[in-house]
Structure 1
Amino acid sequence: MPLIAIQGVKGAFHEMAAKKFASKPIELLECMTFREECKALENDKADMAVMAVENSIAGSLSQNYGLINEYRLHVIGEVYLKIEMQLMALPGVKLEDIRHIISHPVAINQCSKFLDTLSNVNISEAKDTAESAKVIREKKLYDTAAIAGEGAASLYDLNILKKNIETDKQNFTRFLILTKESNNSPNDDKASISFELKHEPGTLADLLSVFKVHEINLTNIQSVPVIGKPYEYRFHADLTWNNKKQFEKALKIAEQFASSIILLGTYKKSSFNFE
């Protein structure tokens, strides 16, 4: 079974994404930070890692793009996961018994409309959604509820007090599948690249126009600060195509407009629906 590093503990959304990608039995390596995931790959303690990079509500996790560049990791796939938040507590506990709610700050923010309806409840931040559920079970906190996914409720034997409390019901997170070594297939139709530009007017427009001419679709672009170089940035971009040869040709031409350009990986694009 592949050993997959995830951020968080079992029952986290990262585990759900790992299982969706693998579609077969897996082993998990729990990491409490994204940097720990990268180190696990670097030190050959995991075969691959699953890392969230953007959410349809919260936006991009720019620090994770920085980690991918820093550790020179390779992208071999992606997963889109619909995020549904559940309010859960120990069996027998009712909503009116709750005095504390704990979860990851992003999850708390995504459930703000529901949380605003509650009174006399203290909201506290935790490192991970599933870890919040685990803490309630281990410490037997009868006055506390967690916000996490349905899998965490099942794993830690908690009852769901309120289902789907997320404010936006079309809430998706994109996860990248990362490895230490590259993976390349002629059937790939998406790529992630990283590049720095020459300090000349119009270089970003010139580089992007190369992809336009070769009918390569830009689906995402992010700027990430370059550590040690104040006010200089590295760009991360995702591209899709119908003809891989055209992409390879465009990438070679684009090199003349960049001071450095790295192909982080090619892979099969994933999709999501709004059902």
Structure 2
Amino acid sequence: MKRIKEISVAIQGIATCFHEVAAHTYFGKGIKTVECLSFHALCESLKKEETDFAVMAIENSIAGSILPNYFLLQEYHFSIVGELYVPIHMHLLALPGVELTDLTLIESHPMAIRQCSEFLHSLNNVTIVESEDTALSARHVMELQRKNVAAIANEFAAKKFGLQILKRRIETHKKNFTRFLVLTRKQPVAELGNKASLYFEVSHSIGSLADILTNFKKNQLNLTKIQSIPIIGRPQEYLFHVDVEWRDRSGFEKSIKQVSKHVGNLNVLGEYKKGKIEIN
């Protein structure tokens, strides 16, 4: 009997991080996750065919867009084959027996720190340190065995590294979620797709972007995201990343055909089924 190849998925972070949660949520438990300590390393893993897919965070409902990842999407030309929205619950983790007043240092990923800014600003005499990953920060607390150090991470990390949850749900807004993209090297045939991500540049003239957005409207496309990215070496000029949804794919096909005549550097990064937002 032929053995089915195990799917490998690149994640940014180590085991129990939110990227691993996203990977298992999308693909199920029967996958191999490959730990990458940076988004660049994640892209390199997929490019070098060390993994079949990659899961990449692209925006958070509190902290906003992860701008460097838009540059990576342009650089690597991967295909987006799916998306998912993962509820993000942030907890303050420390060694057992530690009190909040014992802390002088809290470590976590920059996006996690931004999501918990209101809580962190309420603390006195505590230094905030950025790290590569939330779960890695939790592991550091376990390894250091210092009662003055804590990490911001999830409940899975607390269990794995034997830490207590000193404070639960410290994110600034409780309806907090992160949007993740599922990437692959190949461009598959879209099945039941109703959303697409693309980018383009427009002429540096009055109304040029408005004309493109009006075209989307005429063809019954719902614009769900627009993000401008500076074009390096060309001051005051930008690429625009947009996400659009549709009920009838023919409207998307018609719009792309029309828009391509009026924009430069048009790239469709992928067509896929839009993810559901389920916040708890």
Give the TM-score category using the shorter length. over 0.9
RMSD of equivalent CA atoms: 1.7
Question: Which residue does 1:212 correspond to in 2?
Answer: 217
1:185 is the counterpart of 2:216: no
Question: Which residue does 1:273 correspond to in 2?
Answer: 278
Question: Which residue does 1:126 correspond to in 2?
Answer: 131
Q: Which moved more, 1:104-113 or 1:148-157?
A: 104-113
Question: Which residue does 2:146 correspond to in 1?
Answer: 141
1:236 is the counterpart of 2:241: yes
> Are the equivalent residues in 1 in contact too, given 2:60–2:179 (CA < 8 A)?
yes
Match of 1:48 among 53, 63, 87: 53
Output the CA distance in 1 between the equivalents of 2:29 and 2:111. Answer: 29
Alignment map for 1:62-73 (pairs within 5 Å): 62-73=67-78
Output the CA distance in 1 between the equivalents of 2:123 and 2:203. Answer: 53
Question: Which residue does 1:89 correspond to in 2?
Answer: 94
Output the CA distance in 2 between the equivalents of 1:230 and 1:44. Answer: 36
The offset of 1:261, in angstroms, is 0.9
> Are the equivalent residues in 2 in contact too, given 1:83–1:172 (CA < 8 A)?
yes
The offset of 1:16, in angstroms, is 1.0
Question: Which residue does 1:29 correspond to in 2?
Answer: 34
Output the CA distance in 2 between the equivalents of 1:200 and 1:123. Answer: 44
Question: Which residue does 1:175 correspond to in 2?
Answer: 180
The offset of 1:159, in angstroms, is 1.4
The offset of 1:112, in angstroms, is 2.8
Give CA deviations for 1:168-213 in whole Å, capped at 9, x if unaligned.
Answer: 1111111111111112324100000111123443221222222111
Match of 2:7 among 2, 7, 11: 2
Output the CA distance in 2 between the equivalents of 1:224 and 1:237. Answer: 11
Give the counterpart letter for 1:134 in structure 2. R
The offset of 1:142, in angstroms, is 2.9
Output the CA distance in 2 between the equivalents of 1:254 and 1:230. Answer: 24
The offset of 1:226, in angstroms, is 2.0
Q: Which moved more, 1:18-27 or 1:113-122?
A: 113-122
- State the identity %: 47
> Are the equivalent residues in 2 in contact too, given 1:206–1:257 (CA < 8 A)?
no
Give TM-score scaled by structure 2 length. Answer: 0.92
1:80 is the counterpart of 2:85: yes
User: Matched residue of 1:257: which SS?
Assistant: coil
The offset of 1:259, in angstroms, is 1.6
Output the CA distance in 2 between the equivalents of 1:184 and 1:57. Answer: 34
User: Matched residue of 2:215: which SS?
Assistant: helix
Question: Which residue does 1:57 correspond to in 2?
Answer: 62
Question: Which residue does 1:113 correspond to in 2?
Answer: 118
User: Matched residue of 1:256: which SS?
Assistant: coil
The offset of 1:235, in angstroms, is 1.0
Q: Which moved more, 1:160-169 or 1:122-131?
A: 122-131
Give the counterpart letter for 1:176 in structure 2. L
User: Mind listing any 5+ residue stretches in structure 1 that lack a counterpart?
Assistant: none
Q: Return closer, same or farther for 1:175/1:271 CA change in 2, 3 Å cut-off.
A: same
Output the CA distance in 2 between the equivalents of 1:48 and 1:224. Answer: 25
Output the CA distance in 2 between the equivalents of 1:38 and 1:274. Answer: 29
Output the CA distance in 2 between the equivalents of 1:31 and 1:143. Answer: 28
The offset of 1:264, in angstroms, is 0.6
Q: Return closer, same or farther for 1:202/1:116 CA change in 2, 3 Å cut-off.
A: closer
Give the counterpart letter for 2:179 in structure 1. R
